[in-house]
Every structure is written in C-alpha cells, then in structure tokens.
Chains A and B, each alone.
Chain A
Amino acid sequence: MLVKHMFKTGVLLGLFAIVGTALIAFTFDNTAERIAAEEREFLLRSIQALIPASAYDNDLYSDTVSVVSPALLGSHAPIPVYRARKDGKPVALVMEPVAPDGYSGAIKLLVAIAYDGTVLGVRVLSNQETPGLGDNIEIEKSNWITSFNGHSLSNLDAKEWHVKKDGGMFDQFTGATITPRAVVKAVHNSLKYFSEHRDALFAPTATKTEAPPHD
C-alpha cells in the first residue's frame, strides 16, 4: 500500500516537472526568435544614437569582426566590433566591451570610437547595478555617460582617466563609486585596445578570418 502510494506520488511529481519544463520550453521556443530580433533592433538603435546614420554608408551590422582581449575588453568571450565606413574609408567603430568589476557583476557597454581615437559616445547595454544608485550610468537615468564624449588618450592623460575620488576627471555618484569607476576603466581600456590594434580592427571583412591578434 505504502509502496503503491510512494510510486503514485513519485509519478505525479515527475509529471509536474515535465509540465513545468514543457511550459518553459514552449515559451522559449515561441519567443527566442522575437527576442533576438528585438535585441538586434535595440542594438542598431543604440549604435545610431552614437554614430549619426549620415556619417557612414556601409551595412554596419554585417561589417563586423570579433576580437578577444580579456585584459582590455573585460571578457573571455569574443567581443563584436561593428565598423562604420564612408566611401570605403574607415569612419568609426562600435564595440561591446565589458566592465567586469561592477558593483553587482559585469556591465556590458557599447563604445563608439572615431577613427582618430576620440570617444563618440558610450552607452550601457546591460547591468545589474543598484537601482537608484549605480544605475545612473544608464542614459535614461542621467547623462553622466555622455561625459566621455570627445575624450581620447591624447586629450586626457592616464591619471585623468579615473573618477574624481581617484584623482581623475570623471564624476562619481553619491553613494556609488564602484560602478562609475568600473565604467571609466572599461572605456579607458577600450581606447587603449583601439590604439594598439586600430589597423587590424578596420581591416576589410574579406580578411575576417584573420581577426586582430588575440592577447
């Protein structure tokens, strides 16, 4: 009797596990494509906010390379780089570096750098920073992130590429220093990577297989 009851209960539990898994699998299956499309759309709109559509004439979304640099770009995964060109000449590029040392995990960024090495703009793609404190790095919440615009390795020296608390020139937030510190460092590192690998980063798509050196 007891064994029969245990068996019945076990089967029931298993059935509910299947139902639960099926619900998630079904939802995932029906939304995955849409989510990918929405994310791509969102990325394209973000890029257009950084580089005006009139500045380039190539298909930016397919003119890409991916690079790996855990030291400077913050991730062991390949980082996509989108290149903007006009009349075949390089104009700017957009990459997705990661600030690995945010207050609550990695912060994914979108950094646009002009061919001459100036920052065109930075946006936050995703973060888990504290709502109300660290999330002021998002453009929707404050325009702190625009303070990078126009800066480069040549118009600010290495010491100035820090938050004010560390002797640099970028503001921190009240109650949140770690988040802006991580973002400033990531943008600075992206510029370093850019200046070291600029020609390789802009190499035509034909040589896509020979991606810039991985370090």
Chain B
Amino acid sequence: MTDNEYGTIIRNGLWHNNPALVQILGLCPLLAVSSTVINALGLGIATTLTLVLTNLTVSLIRNQVTSEIRIPVFVMLIAAIVTAIELAMNAYFHELYLILGIFIPLIVTNCNILARAEAFASKNAPLPSTLDGLFMGIGFTAVLVALGAMREVLGKGTLFSQAQLMFGDGAKWMTVTVFGDYHGFLLAILPPGAFIGLGLLIALKNVIDARRKALPAPTSARYAAHTHA
C-alpha cells in the first residue's frame, strides 16, 4: 500500500464513502441515540473501537475462511467481540459502562460493522483494514455528533449537557446553554427529528460536493490564487 492509498482510505471513511451520509448504514443506533452530543459521542467511540477490532480480526483470518461460510463466521466474531468489549468495560470501566452500557448492544445492530468486514477487511491486509475501521468509525462518529448537536440545540437549547457523565465532574463547565429560558422543541428530540436532521445533513453534503465539482480543479485554483498575489 502506498501513502496515496492510505490517504484514499482516510478520505473515504471521513467523506466520500462516509458510513452514515453515503452508505446510509447503521441507522438504527444512529437515529436512536443522537438526541444529545454526549450520547452521540458515547456511541461513536464504542462503535469505532468495535470497528477497529473486528476489521483487524477479520483481516487476520481472511485467508482461512472459505467464501461460503464467511458471513456466519464474521457475524459470530463480531458478536463475540462486542460481548467481550461489553464485559470488559463493565469490569474495568464500571462508571463509563453505566453510561455507555445501553449503547453497546446497539452496536450489534449496526450493519456498518458487517459491511466493513465484508467489503474491506476480508480483502485487505491487517494494517489498511485497521485504518479503514478507524476512519469509518471516526466518520460515523462525526455525523452522529453533528446530528446530536443539531437535535440538542433545537430540542433543548443546550450543547454538551451531561458532559460530566462521560468526562467526570470536572467537565460540567462544558455544558453550554445556547438559548436561556428555552421551552424545547420536542420534534427535534423525537425520532422524526432524527430522520429530518439526517436528511438535512445528507443534503448539505451533496450540495458541498456539487459546488466542488462546479469549481475549477483545485490545482488550477491554487495556481490562479498565486498569480493574483
């Protein structure tokens, strides 16, 4: 793999093939827990960790598994890894588990994990597969957090509320009240708000992509800027 190919993996995960905005995968957990930034961040981190571990494992065994049984083997491994993560978190990070605990089983319902195992990790070496898992996870987390921020500001008028749950009592200052004396906009917190919000984010991405295409190629644009100066 050349540097260029690693660059492609990173760009695909974050933007061009973003799991939430382009592949539209993992909607169940995405819509369920994006009601606040902190919930979104919690699920995002747990999903990223799972993606990295499952992609690495699947890549390591990719030559041993025959094509007929690859899907059941991947599903079994993903379920085993998620369960192991849940148990280990419960034992060693009990406080964090009490907060993220309800999100962990949701990860199994995230078809994005199986999609990356099948589409990428089963065909690539361990290093690029791990990288793919990491950046697909970060791309997913970014969309979750953006959606969480939209819904939290509109729905409750705050940002980062309950940050102390994730970062400890020292993080209470992180909570921002955007609108004081705000009575809340329930639609944003309820599931329809999640669908509408995600639709708007996808539309925004398409607009940005369309604008970029319409502009002259980036190299000539930079060149033009230079000559101006």
Residue A59 at the B interface, CB < 8 A?
no
Contact A131 B190 (CB under 8 A): no
A 155-192 binary contact with B (CB < 8 Å = 1; else 0): 00000000000000000001100000000000000000
Contact B83 A24 (CB under 8 A): yes
Contact B66 A12 (CB under 8 A): yes
How far in angstroms is the closest Cβ of chain A from B192? 12
How far in angstroms is the closest Cβ of chain A from B152? 8
Residue A87 at the B interface, CB < 8 A?
no
Residues A126-165 near B (CB distance < 8 A): 128, 131-133, 140-141
* B interface residue count range (under 10 / 10 to 19 / 20 to 34 / 35 or more): 35 or more
Determine the distance from Cα of A161 to Cα of B36 in the docked complex, in whole angstroms. Answer: 31
Q: What are 30 residue pairs bridging A and B, where the CB atoms are less than 8 Å apart in the complex? A: A12-B64, A12-B69, A16-B61, A16-B73, A16-B77, A17-B76, A19-B80, A20-B76, A20-B77, A20-B79, A20-B80, A21-B80, A23-B81, A23-B84, A24-B80, A24-B83, A24-B84, A27-B84, A27-B87, A28-B87, A31-B92, A38-B90, A38-B94, A42-B94, A131-B102, A132-B155, A132-B189, A133-B189, A141-B162, A175-B186
Residue B39 at the A interface, CB < 8 A?
yes
Q: A23-B84, A131-B35, A133-B189 are in contact. Are A38 and B77 (CB under 8 A)?
A: no
Contact A132 B39 (CB under 8 A): yes
Determine the distance from Cα of A132 to Cα of B186 in the docked complex, in whole angstroms. Answer: 11
| Residue of A whose beta carbon sits closest to that of B184 | A174
Find chain B residues with CB under 8 A from A31 CB: 87-88, 90-92
Tally inter-chain residue pairs, CB-CB below 8 A.
79
Contact A27 B77 (CB under 8 A): no
Find chain A residues with CB under 8 A from B174 CB: none
Determine the distance from Cα of A21 to Cα of B91 in the docked complex, in whole angstroms. Answer: 19
Determine the distance from Cα of A140 to Cα of B88 in the docked complex, in whole angstroms. Answer: 23
